Chains A and B, each alone.
Chain A
């Protein structure tokens, strides 16, 4: 709350300064409307030293599954019948000094019981002037694995997290504390190589040393241990992009996440992923429309589970085994005409059998058509239907509405 108060003061101060600035300007007599002025120099700007923005998602809907959180697994998914606010992000970013940019993202959200949760989602420094085309990111941030994991929920094209990302990275996605070194290769086309080195311990390193790991390996979760540098999580990634024609672009990537898990000593997890994004947009598009885009990500996990006591019954010893999971999703978006987008997503996940039963590792298929209307760049209204087939449970149907609003700093969009 203290933080909120500070930012409010900041913006009030900024507005006062802006008002003073504009008051000092003598309005030009040729001004076209009374709410605008003309001035000789345009260097004046609201004197904040940072961009302040707030994005809120308001969801509403219904599902045939009474226990909605068992169906909607993502932390920023709609998880109740009725209304909820699964994600409100306060973003603050700016140039720190000539050498660094700073970015932080603080999330407020309501859980299934309507209780407010606050989390420091991201807080990191980014270098701006390292030599040799290098760039370092340092702090806590979404791991740059694949395409969607590093994206914030408000820029997703669907109301919920893809199933395969949930299965591999958990309800929050993969993020941790650490650093990431990136190198922009001197190739004629875009190629960026990255290596993330992050803590493997924490609530948001699901497949590694997380408290929630029991859901994956079925065993008792021991105290996390960091005994050597080998206990860090390593995330290498390489991505390239090509202009197929003047109006068609493709971006391809390969990622891996390698680190220890906590089923037992020396047990390790390896996750591999490929991602592809294609977009067509004509040369004379109206406000970016029409367009067609296709995004596909496939992931596979090899989870070495050590011999461990079963979480349900400590007298049962689960054997040393390798748990294999895989899945993919593909989403097709068609920007029909300005500000209207139709989407279709298919989600598939499957897992090999293990010595214990877990609904979280059962096979599942989901098909989600949706349509989104963006009244402006600062708001959106989305309607989505999910056909959900959990092989071990049965079929469910859900309908979700999502409303978004954005205040403050103008959003900019990565490709």
Chain B
């Protein structure tokens, strides 16, 4: 009897497994390393794709654990989207090795490296880790410039169509719609921030460089003395001096950065600490790329206005 029960159970389990496989087989399985890339993939893929993000919205994309569940997710992916520029260097290579999925291998049609085609900033001339954890391919936090988001979206549409030609027209249409919305929103965002052209902002990490450049802001200082290096008292003293000298009013932090350090600096300079996560989903009601950018721009504009 026991043996029979076991066989029955196993059969049920197998049927259930087959069922799951069949229901999702119709849609392209897209895996993105970070939620912002996942949000773009949803814009472009629409109903033809099923998107999973590996990192959580509040998680530091440099320090994601290479959990075995991610191996399973990548193993079953049709498309893998990574930020590139060494953002995921600490955790993606071992996942890929274990996932053994040739559909998303380097150079395969199912592999999208978002940084390719982006005009990268801060590419080091020499590779020297005494300058901190500098990425040899440049600063990887480029998606908060909407123009870059359009480039990445274009790449997604092209590669989704290669992997899944049946839905190529849908991807093209979604891309056109996305681009049109970005163009319209970009004018709005530029308008919101136009009064603050040249405003000096302070960030924890070097992660607002592309945003500042797009909207005419200046990153005065970062609380980290060098990328990935914890703030030292001497460096913070210098930052405080620099902020006071030009009356810098905001310090931008992400959920995974040390808010207390930012608060200490804010207290001594009269500046405000702004929680401005770059990942959709890190705050409520920011599920899409547009929600997130709206939140960022509005929060920053309000603070710079002194509100």
For A240, give the chain B residue with the smallest CB separation.
Answer: B68
For A19, give the chain B residue with the smallest CB separation.
Answer: B126
**Interface membership of chain A positions 15-45, coded 1 if the CB is closer than 8 angstroms to chain B and 0 otherwise:** 1001100100100001111011111111111
Residue numbers of B with Cβ under 8 A of A are 17, 20-21, 56, 58-60, 62-63, 65-69, 71-72, 75, 84-86, 89-94, 97-100, 102, 105-106, 115-127, 129, 131-134, 136-138, 209, 213, 219, 228-230, 255-258
Checking B65, B118, B138 against A249 with a beta-carbon cut-off of 8 angstroms, the contacting residue is: B65
Checking B60, B105, B124, B136 against A128 with a beta-carbon cut-off of 8 angstroms, the contacting residue is: B105
Compute how far the CA of A246 lies from the CA of B91 in the bound complex, rounded to whole angstroms: 18
A413 with B91: CB separation less than 8 A = yes
A39 with B94: CB separation less than 8 A = no
B119 with A39: CB separation less than 8 A = yes
Residues of A within 8 A of B257 (CB): 286
A283 with B17: CB separation less than 8 A = no
Compute how far the CA of A287 lies from the CA of B132 in the bound complex, rounded to whole angstroms: 14
A36 with B63: CB separation less than 8 A = no
B75 with A184: CB separation less than 8 A = yes
A118 on interface, CB distance cutoff 8 Å: no
Max count, chain A CB within 10 A of own CB: residue among B213, B219, B256: B256
A412 with B124: CB separation less than 8 A = no
A133 on interface, CB distance cutoff 8 Å: yes
Residue numbers of A with Cβ under 8 A of B are 15, 18-19, 22, 25, 30-33, 35-46, 95, 98, 101, 126-130, 133-135, 184, 186-190, 192, 239, 241, 243, 246, 249, 251, 279, 281, 283-288, 338-339, 376-378, 410-415
Compute how far the CA of A339 lies from the CA of B125 in the bound complex, rounded to whole angstroms: 28
Known contacts: A45-B137, A184-B100. The answer to whether A36 contacts B65 by CB under 8 A is no
B125 with A36: CB separation less than 8 A = yes
Residues of A within 8 A of B229 (CB): 376
Chain A to chain B: the 3 pairs with minimum beta-carbon distance, closest first:
A190-B68, A241-B68, A129-B102
Q: How far is the CB of A340 from chain B (nearest CB, A)?
A: 11
- Identify 23 residue pairs between A and B in the complex whose beta-carbon atoms are under 8 Å apart, listed by A's number: A22-B125, A32-B121, A36-B125, A37-B125, A38-B138, A46-B127, A101-B97, A126-B97, A184-B99, A186-B17, A192-B68, A243-B67, A251-B68, A286-B60, A287-B256, A288-B65, A338-B258, A410-B86, A410-B89, A412-B89, A412-B94, A413-B90, A414-B94
Residues of A within 8 A of B90 (CB): 377, 410-413
Known contacts: A36-B124, A38-B119. The answer to whether A283 contacts B58 by CB under 8 A is yes
Residues of A within 8 A of B129 (CB): 376, 378
Q: How far is the CB of B28 from chain A (nearest CB, A)?
A: 19
A338 with B69: CB separation less than 8 A = no
Known contacts: A41-B117, A128-B100, A190-B71. The answer to whether A95 contacts B209 by CB under 8 A is no
A284 with B121: CB separation less than 8 A = no
Known contacts: A412-B92, A415-B66. The answer to whether A42 contacts B84 by CB under 8 A is yes
A286 with B258: CB separation less than 8 A = yes
Residues of B within 8 A of A46 (CB): 127, 136
Known pairs A285-B60, A285-B256, A412-B93. 5 more at Cβ < 8 A? A133-B75, A239-B68, A283-B56, A287-B256, A414-B66
For B66, give the chain A residue with the smallest CB separation.
Answer: A415
B123 with A36: CB separation less than 8 A = yes
B63 with A285: CB separation less than 8 A = yes
Residues of A within 8 A of B119 (CB): 38-41
Q: How far is the CB of A255 from chain B (nearest CB, A)?
A: 16
Checking B60, B72, B84, B99 against A287 with a beta-carbon cut-off of 8 angstroms, the contacting residue is: B60
Q: How far is the CB of A39 from chain B (nearest CB, A)?
A: 6
Known contacts: A45-B136, A133-B75, A414-B94. The answer to whether A283 contacts B102 by CB under 8 A is no
Compute how far the CA of A414 lies from the CA of B219 in the bound complex, rounded to whole angstroms: 35
Checking A38, A188, A246 against B120 with a beta-carbon cut-off of 8 angstroms, the contacting residue is: A38
Compute how far the CA of A225 lies from the CA of B54 in the bound complex, rounded to whole angstroms: 50
Residues of A within 8 A of B131 (CB): 35
A42 with B123: CB separation less than 8 A = yes
Max count, chain A CB within 10 A of own CB: residue among B106, B121, B228: B121
